[in-house]
Chains A and B, each alone.
Chain A
Amino acid sequence: MTTLLIAEHDNKTLNPATAKTMSAASALQAPVDILVAGHNCADVAQQAAKLTGCQKIIHADAPHLEHHLAEEMAQVITALMEDYTTAITPATTNGKNFMPRVAAALDVMQLSDITDVLAPNQFERPIYAGNALQIVESTDEKRVITVRTTKFPAVEETGQADVELLELPEPKSVSQYVSENLSQSDRPELASASIVVSGGRALGSKENFEKYIEPLAQTLGAAIGASRAAVDAGYISNDYQVGQTGKVVAPDLYIAIGISGAIQHLAGIKDAQTIVAINKDEEAPIFQIADYSLVGDLFELVPQLQAALENR
């Protein structure tokens, strides 16, 4: 009856989603081991060893694990699952990529994107873009879970787990990493930022997105987000999309600028503590859920807000 948590990281730093997943894992009332799989990621193993509640770190290190390719990750995790009852990982694009492979290999129905643990085999999860919540009970012998991390607090770092190096099977080598084009930004990470400034189609161009959204984010120390329409139009890259099929955020403050508030967008922001909307259409659906609404032209209101914040 032990849980295997698969850490999210980039071989250098442990992603904060891992500490949040740890609190979901702890709610399963079983000891938790953490798998740190990657390449040259010993530092990450040390970081993970500190997470409160971790019993042991399993460190899998090999060139073919560097990019967390689903085929390779799933092979390692599936083999380990002989000794575990539950596999759990954050619902990041990595987790979503390899975890269902593990589930199918174990003949288990995965629990995707859980938002609450009611019992070790009972979970809450959103469906229909969060417009309904389901309470489900898993009847499988083992469980495979991905976690919506905005719903769980991070555990503390009071632990000192031992690190064990894992012997690895031969790589499957059916897929190959070619390249990566990652967004470079000194802004806080979108998924865990405490303030998010998001822009929509109304910005009209990449230049305007940079001119109006970026300085405001800078002044507020905020992460930048976007609607699908803004991403599709090329104002900003895909990793900034917030919503049902993008990133889910739960900041203290979410500022939606020139975003109408489609169901799919709202799905990603419902758990924000305070929502501010700036939109020139009084009837825009975003106003139905915004705590503070400003009706008007963003090209006037955003510079005003910017100036007022700077002059405080």
Chain B
Amino acid sequence: MKILVPVKRVIDYNIKVRVKSDGSGVDLANVKMSMNPFDEIAVEEAVSLKEQGKAEEVVAVSIGPEKAQETIRSALAMGADRGIHVKTDQIVEPLSVAKILQVITLQENPNIIIMGKQAIDDDCNQTGQMLAALLNWPQGTFASEVKLNEQQIDVTREIDGGLQTVRLNLPAIVTTDLRLNEPRYASLPNIMKAKKKPIDAMTPEELDIDISPRLKILQTREPEVRVGGVKLESVEQLIDKLTNEAGILS
């Protein structure tokens, strides 16, 4: 069993982004970048399936600038076996990411692709589903539990009403939700080992994929800021405010 794990380099989740004053985008200069948290969960799941003897190889893929290599290295330090870096400085929309991953999937022939449900920068929540459609594979999105057999995978999904379990024929795509696992921290020896693991590099052009964006970004702006109100002294005062000022209680 071989598992492919796409990982994206994004602004660290602890950082509050700032919009550039000219409205051209978000300020990425000198901010801390990390692996998308849902992708860490994906790597953890793949690596632990390997540790359980249910998979032989875990391959991490990232599409992005030179520095996306660091994100691949983080995945390798967590236990992935090798990396693939599709290098580009352009913005790559989920549809193009899915097309690149489709080509890589056809080359690598994994049995499962585990990826994040959502990148916390674009908040698109699309790429896994798109890739599943392009490959004509089944999908188990927003996974909080997976059970892998030889032919099938059972995925328990976090849905609006609670949990749903589906059974997918392999090969299949799983996208991770927060409760799937708690990603490990890479140990120092594993970080050192990761430096020697191989990363293949290529470009979208070499893969013959047109990544021109389909969405024109006309403007990026700050949302209206919500300003805090007053500190209250007592519960009685709160009820008074909610009744007479906010008009919510009657």
Contact = CB atoms under 8 A, between A and B. Distances in A.
Contacts of B158: 93, 238-239
B130 A295 contact: no
B124 interface: yes
B111 interface: no
A291 B226 CA distance: 9
Given A96-B125, A100-B130, A238-B179, 12 more contacts: A71-B138, A93-B157, A96-B129, A96-B142, A97-B142, A112-B124, A112-B125, A132-B221, A136-B217, A177-B164, A276-B238, A291-B229
A128 B130 contact: no
Contact of A179 (B164, B227, B230): B164
A219 to B, nearest CB: 11
Nearest to B131: A104
B226 A270 contact: yes
Interface residues of B, number: 82
B200 to A, nearest CB: 25
A108 B96 CA distance: 10
14 contacts: A71-B138, A93-B158, A100-B129, A126-B223, A127-B123, A128-B11, A174-B137, A174-B168, A177-B166, A178-B154, A232-B179, A252-B248, A264-B13, A292-B241
Nearest to A274: B246
B228 A238 contact: no
A171 to B, nearest CB: 12
Interface stretch (B46-54, B55-63, B71-79, B114-122): B114-122
B215 A139 contact: yes
Contacts of B125: 96, 100, 112-113
A253 B242 contact: yes
A70 B139 contact: yes
A312 B141 contact: no
B235 A301 contact: yes
Nearest to A307: B235
A294 B215 contact: no
In the A-B complex, the 9 residue pairs with the closest CB atoms: A100-B129, A109-B214, A104-B130, A291-B229, A100-B126, A104-B133, A101-B133, A175-B138, A182-B162
Given A100-B94, A181-B162, A289-B228, A304 B144 contact: no
Nearest to B102: A104
Contacts of B222: 131-133
A163 B165 CA distance: 32
B163 interface: yes
Given A175-B138, A183-B161, A295-B231, A136 B216 contact: yes
Contacts of A180: 161-165
Interface in A176-209: 176-183, 191, 195
Contact of B122 (A127, A139, A253, A312): A127
Grouping DSSP codes into helix (H, G, I), strand (E, B) and loop, the A interface class, with mixed when no group exceeds half, is: mixed
B121, B154, B226, most chain A CB atoms within 10 A: B226
Report the interface size class on chain A.
Answer: 35 or more
Interface of A: 10, 67, 69-71, 74, 92-94, 96-105, 107-113, 122, 126-140, 174-183, 191, 195, 228, 231-232, 237-239, 241, 244-245, 247, 252-253, 263-264, 270, 273-276, 287-295, 301, 304-305, 308-309, 312
A292 B133 contact: no
A10 B164 CA distance: 13
Contacts of B231: 287, 293-295
A176 B167 contact: yes
B123 A122 contact: no
B157 to A, nearest CB: 8
B218 interface: yes
Contact of A239 (B154, B159, B167, B241): B159
B181 to A, nearest CB: 11
Nearest to A266: B226
B192 interface: no
A239 B161 contact: yes
B196 interface: no
B26 interface: yes
Contacts of A108: 95, 214
